[in-house]
C-alpha cells in the first residue's frame, strides 16, 4: 500500500489534471495540509511513484516566469488511481466508528 505523502501527491496531481507539475502539486499539497512541503520530499516521492508505475512524468514547456526552465509534468496512471482509491478506502475502514471517523 502507498504511504500518506504518496497519497497526497497522487491526489493533488489527479485534482490538477493537465496542470499538474512540480510547483503546482507542491502548492496544492501545502494548501490542503497547511504545512510546508519540502521540494526534495516531493521530487523523491515522484521518482518513487514513477518507478512503481503510479505516475508518469515528462519534461514540459518552459516559461519566462520560470527563467526559461522546463516543467516536470505529472500524470496519474490508472494504477495510480487504483492505489490512491485503495489507500482512501483503508483510511475510511480503519476510521469507521471512531469519534473522528467519516462514514463512507
Partner 1 sequence: MSDTCWWLAQRIAALLPGAECEAVLGDLEERGESGLRRLADVLGWVLRRQWEPWGDWRSWVWGAALPFGGSLLLMGLSVSLAQSGREVPEGTPLALARVIGETLWLLGSGWSCGFVIASQRTRRVSALLACLPCCFCFSRFGIEWLSPLCLLLFLGPVLWGAARGAQRRGLDFKVAVLVGVCATAGTFLSWGSGAGRWLPPGWLIQATLLVPAWYLLAYVGAAQRRRDGLQVRGDDL
Summarize as ranges the residues that interact with partner 1 (CB under 8 A): 21-23, 26-27, 38-41, 43-44, 59, 62-63, 65-67, 69-72
CB nearer to partner 1: give 40 or 104. Answer: 40
CB neighbour list of residue 48: distance below 8 Å, 6 or more residues apart: 6
CB of 87 to partner 1, least distance (A): 22
CB nearer to partner 1: give 27 or 82. Answer: 27
Please name the residue that has the C-alpha cell 495510480.
80
What CA–CA distance (Å, rounded) separates 81 from 79? 5
CB of 47 to partner 1, least distance (A): 9
What CA–CA distance (Å, rounded) separates 19 from 80? 17
CB nearer to partner 1: give 64 or 102. Answer: 64
CB of 27 to partner 1, least distance (A): 8
CB of 88 to partner 1, least distance (A): 27
Query: In angstroms, what CA-CA distances link 93 with 20, 40, 87, 88?
Result: 29, 31, 10, 9
Amino acid at each position: 500500500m502507498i504511504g500518506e505523502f504518496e497519497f497526497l501527491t497522487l491526489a493533488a496531481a489527479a485534482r490538477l489534471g493537465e496542470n499538474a507539475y512540480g510547483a503546482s502539486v507542491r502548492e496544492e499539497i501545502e494548501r490542503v495540509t497547511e504545512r510546508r512541503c519540502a521540494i526534495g520530499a516531493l521530487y523523491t516521492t515522484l521518482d518513487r511513484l514513477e518507478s512503481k508505475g503510479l505516475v508518469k512524468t515528462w519534461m514540459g514547456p518552459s516559461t519566462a516566469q520560470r527563467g526559461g526552465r522546463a516543467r516536470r509534468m505529472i500524470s496519474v496512471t490508472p494504477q495510480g488511481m487504483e492505489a490512491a482509491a485503495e489507500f482512501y478506502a483503508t483510511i475510511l475502514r480503519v476510521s469507521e466508528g471512531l469519534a473522528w471517523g467519516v462514514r463512507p
